[in-house]
Amino acid sequence: MSPLKQKAIRIVAGLAIMMVAVFIMNGLIGMKEPPSVVLPESNPWPVHTVVVKNQLNEPRIPVEGKVEAWQRVDLIAEVNGVLSLGGKEFREGVKYIRGETILSLDDSEARSSLRSARAQFLQLTSGILSTIKIDFPDRINVWESYVNSIEIDEALPILPEPNSDRERFYIINRGIDASYHSIKSSEERLSKFSITAPFDGFVSTALVKPGSLVIGGQPIGVFVGTSQFEIKSSLNSKYLGFIKIGDRVEFMSGDQIVAIGKLDRISSSVNPTTQSATVYFKLSSKSDEFVLRDGMYLSGSLIAKGIDNCFELNAGLIDNGKLYAVENDQLVHSNVEVVFKSFETALVQGLEDGTVVMTDQLSDAFEGMKVNPSSK
């Protein structure tokens, strides 16, 4: 037999042996029983829940802002003078009650000039008495009484009203009317050398010191009241339909309510950039322990008009108008209508009383997920 035939026979025999071996191996594998697969038991996920009870809820809109004194006066000098020394000096933080002199400028020169003008006026009016006695005999008693009432250190009394045009023209031609009004103008100017407190308050800013020269028109300082305060805040335009003038507001310091008030004014325009409107709250202190001060920064809640038949939830639980409820220890989707939403909470409608809602925010939650619910 030739070598080529021997090689061919060996190749065919090898292939036959391999085919037989594969056939036998498949037979043996088929006779083996498949292993049993045991799936791990899934334990229900513990979640917190709340039972729905629809009722009237008052939306609480978060607000914040700086406390500002309702009564605030910029003090400006109208006359020249030196700020007086001594007594209750005009300095920052000094308190004054209503009617008390806040500051006074040296008015000795103006006061002396005014006394001189009153003396001249007294001389002028007393000099016409003899003529009045002849030309207006029925008026002599009135003018004598007026002249006797003039004191050069006191404000001029009001001129007698003339009984006739003849008497009025006589008084005018003698220069009495012009002299009278000139002195009243000087008296008014003299009153500007001192500034009295228009309300109870304190000096928040003092731009001059006692003993310094003050020029007319110069800003002197700022006087701030201590009885009434307000807070200016910005409110998103989406909340404007829920609020009205007079709504209650509460401001907090920590967990304590320190000031209460009401919505006093609402801006009639909306900022086009921020889409917010400016609102103003009038405040009063909640207790004697906490004193409101100008410049404080407080945050709180504006309590808007109530919405009936709704339920309050954490706003983060709602996704595209849906949230997870629990039925038969499984999560199910429930559709809701959001009627009000703030930064943290939302008021929803569409849930029936007694519905159990999951209050945990689970990123991997899905409908049909088994849970172990527990109320908070």
pLDDT tens per residue, range 149-167 = 999 999 999 999 988 899 9
Domain with CATH 2.40.50.100 in the chain: 71-105+194-225
Please say if the pLDDT value at position 38 is more than 80: no
Please say if the pLDDT value at position 365 is more than 60: yes
Q: Are 62 and 343 in contact (CB under 8 A)?
A: yes
* Average pLDDT for 203-232: 91
Q: How confident is the model at residue 284 (pLDDT cuts 50, 70, 90)?
A: confident
Angle 310-251-294 from CA coordinates, rounded to 5°: 155
Domain with CATH 2.40.30.170 in the chain: 61-68+228-298
Report helix, strand or coil for 127: helix
Q: Which two tokens stand for residue 49?
A: 């829940």
Q: Which two tokens stand for residue 312?
A: 């309050």
Residue-by-residue DSSP string for 160-173: PPPSSHHHHHHHHH
Q: Which fold has domain 46-59+307-375?
A: 2.40.420
The pLDDT value recorded for residue 114 is 94
- CATH class given for the domain over 61-68+228-298: mainly beta
Q: Which fold has domain 71-105+194-225?
A: OB fold (Dihydrolipoamide Acetyltransferase, E2P) (2.40.50)
Query: What does pLDDT average to over the chain?
Result: 88
Please say if the pLDDT value at position 35 is more than 90: no
The pLDDT value recorded for residue 146 is 93
Q: How confident is the model at residue 39 (pLDDT cuts 50, 70, 90)?
A: very low
Domain with CATH 2.40.420.20 in the chain: 46-59+307-375
Q: Which two tokens stand for residue 342?
A: 């703030």
Distance CA 265, CA 246 (A): 9
